[in-house]
Amino acid sequence: MEIIKIIGVAILAVVIIIIIKQYKPEFAIYISIITSIIIVYFVIDKFSGIINLLNNLSNKLNSGQEFLKILMKITGIAFLTEFAVSICQDAGESAIGSKIDFGGKIIIIAMSIPIISSMLETVIQILP
């Protein structure tokens, strides 16, 4: 089970970070980043499986294909933004993390405009 590996790596990293902070606190962020990369490596094959499934569904859809691609990109942006914000917060740079979060939200809203406008057009067509 991947979750046991993830939890094990995370607990080990926390213990190492606690020990390292006593002697060389500047190295704690490096351990945090390396741990994050290891955890992403553990789940990347599951993520690629999800992407393949969504691509297969997208190929079966005629009109919703571009919307599914947009939703996949939005989901990717949300994951990457959260990852970057967490790293900034671990480094003690919450201000930079909040700016990344704000930027990610603006990009997500901008990318979702075609979906929102299509939904509004559909609602307008349904209403008398």
pLDDT in tens, the chain (128 residues): 788 988 999 999 999 999 998 999 889 889 988 998 899 888 887 878 887 887 787 777 766 677 888 888 898 899 999 989 988 888 888 999 999 999 999 999 999 998 889 888 888 888 87
Give pLDDT, residue 63: 64
Give pLDDT, residue 48: 80
Structure tokens at 20: 């390292």
Neighbours of 85 (CB within 10 A): 20
* Together in a domain, 74 and 125: yes
CA 83 to centroid of chain Cα atoms: 6
Q: What is the pTM of this model?
A: 0.71
- Terminus-to-terminus CA distance in the chain, angstroms? 54
**Furthest-apart CA pair in the chain: how many Å?**
71
Smallest CA-to-CA distance from 58 within 71, 49, 50, 69 is with 69
Range of the domain at 21: 1-42
Give pLDDT, residue 62: 66
* Together in a domain, 65 and 26: no
Q: What phi, psi does 63 have (nearest 5°)? A: -90, -25
Structural domains counted in the chain: 2
Neighbours of 32 (CB within 10 A): 19
Residue position matching structure tokens 């995370």 = 10
Give pLDDT, residue 51: 79
Residue position matching structure tokens 């006593």 = 22
24 located within any domain: yes
Q: CA angle at residue 82 from 2 to 115, to 5 degrees?
A: 105
* Together in a domain, 8 and 69: no
